[in-house]
A and B are shown apart, each in its own frame.
Chain A
């Protein structure tokens, strides 16, 4: 919530212009004027961390939203159509999953070019198979239910059944997966920016700030630790949110909270 507030209120909360250089005040220690110090060209680290929140959250939420959308469409089509289409879509998803996520994002980032758009597309591609598999599994389970048979018997077209009956009933696990994926998407964006393939300087991104600061680790470690702490706290926070969403939406977790032990689960 704090990260979201920072992102929304960045123009108000940011004490200085995040891009304004002041070479006379470079590598200044944290103090009253600059709470988190300044970087190698005299920019205020705190202001850049605040503005960086925006980019990180946009990257996390938008890439997961894109993956969610494409994964839902592919999963629905595969699960509902079945047969060859199902086989083709799922083998394609297996192929995407055959690449280590960061290596795939790196390769896509290389061909799409550095910048926010490239990162968003690369991360969306990386996370699409997770959602496609999940939605397909849900569709297969839901299409076997009686109310879907009833809708078919009433003559409802396939797309309408998928949209009105199947998808709403598959929402809970999708929301849980999405909430857990945002934290990892933020980490992935920071990793790509750290490697120089994400957000390009002088724009403030936590990953690129940490990369820029690593050359000054001895003289000015605050350049790394400010955005590093923001990234770590945000990811921990989003993990807690993801766990809370799962606890709220997963009936097994609800049962556990009420105290009824579940067979074969003790955590």
Chain B
């Protein structure tokens, strides 16, 4: 297993290098000079020149890239233009709400997807299956922000059961914290639940048609034991793949969800940085998100080996 991890890590290096090059280029894609794009025309030319020198933008681009990479490897992702704080500190302050939101959304999605997916597959082509597939289609086609507004309208504005924006840390006040995260987590979790339901249903149907299932049934096992003991574990690989692939959707969804519900997470930080034209912050956060995404996919790959011992790289 250690060999597998090392080999996968080595394969990631060229991709990581290209990702850093891409993120670095981002700053230079701005029409004209990034400093002109970040600051108003009225700002004094000497102030602009000082900032240009401070950010090293007066040097040739390859030199800038090497210097930037050197700083990135030492953990220095630059400083926000707005508050002057290091990017790492900005992200560190915002990471907790994002992780709590992602964890809760993932829990909600699995809590919905597993019973719905299993019922759909076991009761194939019956009304329960139709309800399950319709739910999956609804979840896949429903934009995050629209679902968020529908939930706000129903549970926040009409019924007044849950807060419609703001954040309380569940570790400080569990009840208020969970209440503040319920609507954002359902918004984010429902789309994921839809994709997982569809995949689980499809892979369960495939597994249910296998010979070993017929043998298990012939032995007189109940349908519940057949599904729990034989089918489910064999149907999990595609689900893990989809969960890995959906991480990007989860992060993208978190950007919108945090924006709608005014949660102070990393997603909201990206949107705020984009609007403030705080390019060093955009650059730093996007790089961190991409690296986090690559590492998560790596973990998913390694997880395959544990779920299915037949898989060897």
Contacts and interface: CB of A to CB of B under 8 A. Distances in A.
Contact of B149 (A92, A108, A228): A228
Nearest to A188: B252
Interface stretch (A110-118, A133-141, A252-260): A110-118
Interface in B110-155: 124, 137, 140-146, 149-150, 152-153
Interface in A166-184: 183
B76 interface: no
A103 B252 contact: yes
Given A100-B248, A239-B137, A107 B282 contact: yes
A102 B256 contact: yes
Interface in B1-30: 14-15, 18-19, 21-22, 26-27, 29-30
B57 to A, nearest CB: 14
B206 A232 contact: no
Contacts of B102: none
B197 to A, nearest CB: 13
Given A99-B286, A221-B153, A235 B141 contact: yes
B220 interface: no
Interface string B36-73: 01000000000000000000000000000000000000
B286 A94 contact: no
Given A100-B293, A236-B137, A95 B157 contact: no
A217 interface: yes
A149 B275 CA distance: 55
Interface centre among A103, A218, A266 (most CB of B within 10 A): A103
Interface stretch (A6-14, A62-70, A193-201): A193-201
A52 to B, nearest CB: 14
A267 B205 CA distance: 7
Interface string A192-216: 0011110000000001001100100
Nearest to A237: B141
B167 interface: no
Nearest to A87: B14
Contacts of A107: 26, 270, 274, 282, 286
Contacts of B157: 217-218
Contacts, number: 139
Nearest to B156: A217
B294 interface: yes
Contacts of B255: 102-103, 106, 195
A47 interface: no
Nearest to A104: B286
A179 to B, nearest CB: 15
Contacts of B149: 210, 214, 217, 224, 228
Contacts of B22: 95-96, 99
Highest count of chain B CB atoms <10 Å: which of A111, A196, A197, A211? A111
B100 interface: no
Interface in A79-96: 91-92, 94-96
B249 interface: yes
A264 B213 CA distance: 13
A92 B282 contact: no
A190 B146 CA distance: 10
B186 interface: no
A98 B206 contact: no
A92 B18 contact: yes
Nearest to A231: B143
A30 interface: no
B290 interface: yes
Contacts of A214: 149, 152, 260
A103 B286 contact: yes
B275 A191 contact: no
Given A91-B14, A91-B15, A232 B274 contact: no
Given A92-B18, A191-B143, A210-B149, A102 B252 contact: yes
A187 B289 contact: no
A100 B31 contact: no
B18 A111 contact: no
Contacts of B153: 217, 221, 224
A142 B18 CA distance: 29
Given A103-B289, A183-B141, A214-B149, 19 more contacts: A95-B15, A100-B290, A101-B252, A103-B251, A103-B286, A106-B255, A110-B279, A191-B145, A196-B275, A197-B274, A207-B145, A217-B157, A224-B153, A228-B146, A231-B143, A232-B142, A235-B143, A265-B206, A266-B205
Q: A-B pairs with the 4 shortest C-beta distances?
A: A102-B252, A95-B18, A100-B248, A100-B251
20 contacts: A100-B248, A100-B249, A101-B249, A102-B253, A106-B255, A106-B270, A106-B271, A107-B270, A107-B286, A108-B26, A190-B145, A194-B256, A207-B145, A214-B152, A217-B157, A224-B146, A228-B146, A231-B143, A236-B141, A266-B206
